[in-house]
Structure 1
Amino acid sequence: MKQSEAILRLHEWNLRGHYIFQHRDLKKIFHEDNERNFNETLKRLVKNQFLERVARGTYLYTLSNDRFSANTLESIAKTLRRGEYSYVSLESALSEYGAISQIPIDRLTVMTTGRKGEYKTQYGVIEFTHTKKSVPDIIDNIRSVGRPLRIATEDTAIRDLKSVGRNVHLIID
């Protein structure tokens, strides 16, 4: 695929609010059946800095105006665990609620039904912690606040922090 055509397609998706993509998303967007051609297109877009590889198999469209928004790290997290239930919790949520004195500047702590892991990106570190909670339990204890990921209630974030057994000493009584 021509680079100009690929950029046009990325731009169209960006106008719809999508600027972070998984490898399989790009394959569908570019309509490439030939794996070799697709990989060459992808390599060229990364080399010419139209796409940035933010994690293995996850790319960010660099011409997006949303690239440096406050929600970019959450959007990356949401893309990394697409298909799983994930929500902001632990230190990140508790800091927002003022329940701990620490403010995680470049780190986002996320509970997920997917696998645990840590991803270092130029936008910050995403730390996924696996939860075995049931879906109804998760849904009943998170709320939507107009951002990519939902956030745990304060009580849920405290319970999550205690269940993973770390930094409990940070909680302000």
Structure 2
Amino acid sequence: MDLNTARKRLDRWDRQGRSVYTLADLAKLFPEDSPKTLQESIGRLRRFGVLEGVLRGIYVYAQSRRTKADRLEEIAKAMRRGEYSYVSLESALSAYGAISQIPVDRLTIMTTGRKGVYRTPYGTLEFTHTKRPLQELLQRMRDVGRPLKVATPEAAWADLKRVGRNTHLVDTEALLPDGYQAPDREQDIP
């Protein structure tokens, strides 16, 4: 496969919103005679700065015009394709304003797939396995226009407690629905 053909194909996919690929994706995109030829082609594309290897078997189109803001989630989605995964724990709670510390280079994700921590050039991905039934999982996440769905505030809080993470930084009043006033603590005292 020549360099110009590869760029044209990757540009076309980039315009359709795709900039992260697995090895299997590239095998379909660039049909080669053998796995060895495919690896050589990928190596050549990496040397010329067309593809960036971010993890074993995961590649990013380095010349993508898409913003890098969602790149870490796109990588996570490619890594756990076929599994249900959603942003939760500290990452979701921080987005809801329930934790004052913002995880800058780490994304915490609940998944039905394998757990694990992976360091990429775009940040660290931390997958935590969940055994919750699918029907329950679907009720716990929201589609907010990002590559991965995000846990509801209640679900993120429950996930954090369930996996035994540190809860003392969480402002639980920030998790209350809008318009709900928590009872005044002084009124609770007899």
- 2:144 counterpart residue number: 145
> Are 1:49 and 2:79 counterparts?
no
Residue in 2 that maps onto 1:73: 72
Give yes or no for contact 1:86–1:112 (8 Å, CA) kept in 2: yes
Q: Is the 1:107–1:124 contact (alpha carbons within 8 Å) kept by the matching residues of 2?
A: yes
Q: CA deviation at 1:33?
A: 3.1
Deviation string for 1:15-34 (max 9, x for gaps)? 11111000000000001232
Aligned 8 A contact 1:87 1:111 in 2:
yes
Give the whole-Å Cα distance in 2 for the aligned partners of 1:77 and 1:25: 15
Which residue in the other structure is 1:34 paired with?
34
Q: Secondary structure at the match of 1:82?
A: coil
What residue in structure 2 maps to residue 17 of structure 1? 17
Residue of structure 2 equivalent to 1:90: 89
Partner of 2:157: 158
Letter in 1 for 2:13: W
How many residue pairs align between the two structures?
172
Unmatched runs of 5 consecutive residues or more in structure 2:
173-190
Determine the structure 2 residue equivalent to 1:135: 134
- Structure 2: how far apart are the matches of 1:56 and 1:36? 16
Instruction: Name which of structure 1's ranges 47-56 and 107-116 shifts more when overlaid on structure 2.
Output: 47-56
**TM norm structure 2:** 0.88
Deviations 1:12-56 (A, max 9, x none): 111111110000000000012322211110010111111001111
Structure 1 residue runs without a partner (length 5+): none
Deviation at 1:117, TM superposition (A): 0.9
Give the superposed CA RMSD: 1.0
> For residues 111 and 139 of structure 1, what CA distance do their matches in structure 2 show?
12
TM-score, length-normalised on structure 1? 0.96
Larger Rg: 2
